[in-house]
Chains A and B, each alone.
Chain A
Amino acid sequence: MNVLRNLDRRVIYVLLFLLVLYPLVKPMGLPVSVGPWTQGSFDYINNLKAGDLVVVSFDYSSGGAPDVDPQAVVVVKHLFKKGVRIVGTAFVDQGVLFANKVFDAWQKQGKKPGVDFVNLGYLAGGETAVAAFGNNPLKAFPKDNNGNDTASMPIMQGVKTAADFKLIAAFATGAPGPSEWVRQVVTKYKTPYMAGLVTVMAPGAEPYLQSKQMIGLLAGLRGAAEYETALKEPGTAAAGMDAQSMGHVVIIVFVILGNILYLLDKPKKAKA
């Protein structure tokens, strides 16, 4: 027991590192179930028609990108496979980097900018910018990320407010996140809204699901893996789920061990 009491924290790091790495090298094939939050998002997008117009907002920074970027990648993949047209925005400065990466890859596969998608780039202002976009997308983004006039683009014809979009899928690592989108756009324009969030933000956003202000929620890498499973196209997120499970096992074992040691030491401390 004294070994555990005086355990160097670096031993835990090494153990965690090795046990997370092992299933990445030798996958165990644990099943990934699709939860109701993810299923809600998947079903809504699956029922969209070719030519429908949706917003995908890349409101995340590099710190949370490993959690959120796989969600955005798989949702955009599903939307394009359905023939849905995408208006890409970013209300976080680093978000535009990820928007560029995703849309550049699809442009190489034949999707046409201005017709199949438009990358509007970054708009500063946080919640104020989200409100401005909801009120008049063309006025908020008169030019796209490459400096082209948005008003003359085929994809933006007929767009007056956020009510003209069939869905807003916003991926966030902070603000603007669900609170801002719900306050400024969903409540006013009744546009269906789904969020992709870093895992820590998910419990805070759940009330919006229960009140039906949100149609679906992808929570972290797990959410992305569930979506890949629902789409029947497992990618990097699904590949990481064995490792995720092993990492959780390590944490749970050490939480239990820590509590056992605490309970064993409690009477001694009380006597002292």
Chain B
Amino acid sequence: MTTNWEVWVSALLTLGAYSILFSENKFFQLVEHIFVGVGAGFAVVVNYYSIVNKGIKPMTGKGEWWLIIPLLIGVMLFGRFVKGMAWITRIPISLLVGIGVALALRGAVQAELVQQISANFINVVGKTPGATINNLVMVVGTIGTIMYFFFTYKQTPIVMAGSAVGKWIMMVAFGAAFGNAVQGRISLLISRLQYLFGTWIHLIPTK
């Protein structure tokens, strides 16, 4: 078993986090509060130095005075905490929303519409039977899933059949997503067990 006090603290906090599986308890609440506090504190410190190093220092040290504009816009976000000044937050929020949407839209049309649609323009008959099946599933699944969302279109038998295919394709996709979620959660458990039984009590050989 290790004598490193940092590992001991980490291991005990891990046990505290897992203690919720047995029942709600004070130890778990303590760990939960520490986790939230450390996370929030870390974010504040990192972002504080980000503003100082990328905004204030170049402004005061290099004479890049125009940086005062984004800094002031940032300060406006705190207007909501001053009585009667809440309206001023609308200016930075509208800028953030406007820039964010414009930036996302600029790339989205090409990256997520044009290229995704053109990726479906394929020869369905592949080099192997497996590739042909994959191509068929992709093309039929894409068309069916889009047809499922024809809410305002008359539900003819063709649309309903396509919609049914789309529904089953989505069910398979949800199943795959759930399987991946399970895999991810088991990975987290494995990592903690490797830490507890490897790094802490040396039952598992660590690499």
Q: Is A bound to B?
A: yes
What string of 1s and 0s marks CB contacts (under 8 Å) between B170-203 and chain A? 0001001100111110111111111001100001
B118 within 8 A of A: yes
- In the complex, which residue of chain B has the Cβ closest to the Cβ of A198? B184
Chain A 77-132 interface residues, beta-carbon cutoff 8 Å to B: 93-94, 96, 122-124, 127-128, 131
A253 within 8 A of B: no
- CB–CB A213/B111 < 8 A: yes
B46 within 8 A of A: yes
**Set B100, B107, B177, B186: member contacting A200, Cβ < 8 A:** B177
- CB–CB A220/B183 < 8 A: yes
**Set B50, B119, B184: member contacting A199, Cβ < 8 A:** B184
CB distance from A123 to the nearest CB of B (A): 7
Q: Which residue among B47, B183, B192 has the maximum number of chain A CB atoms within 10 Å of its CB?
A: B183
Chain A residues with Cβ under 8 A from B115's Cβ?
187, 211, 213
Chain B residues with Cβ under 8 A from A25's Cβ?
197, 203-204
Count contacts on B: residues with CB < 8 A to the other chain: 49
- In the complex, which residue of chain A has the Cβ closest to the Cβ of B106? A183
CB distance from A186 to the nearest CB of B (A): 7
**Set A21, A122, A203, A239: member contacting B177, Cβ < 8 A:** A203
Chain A 224-266 interface residues, beta-carbon cutoff 8 Å to B: 235-236, 239-240, 243-244, 247-248, 251
- Ordered by A's residue number, 8 sampled pairs between the chains whose C-beta atoms are within 8 Å are A25-B204, A93-B47, A179-B112, A184-B107, A204-B177, A221-B191, A222-B187, A235-B207
- Chain A residues in contact with chain B, CB under 8 A? 10, 13, 16-17, 20-21, 24-25, 62, 64-67, 93-94, 96, 122-124, 127-128, 131, 142-143, 147, 179, 182-184, 186-188, 198-200, 202-204, 207, 210-213, 219-222, 235-236, 239-240, 243-244, 247-248, 251
Query: 5 smallest A-B Cβ distances: which pairs?
Result: A183-B107, A66-B191, A211-B119, A199-B184, A247-B186
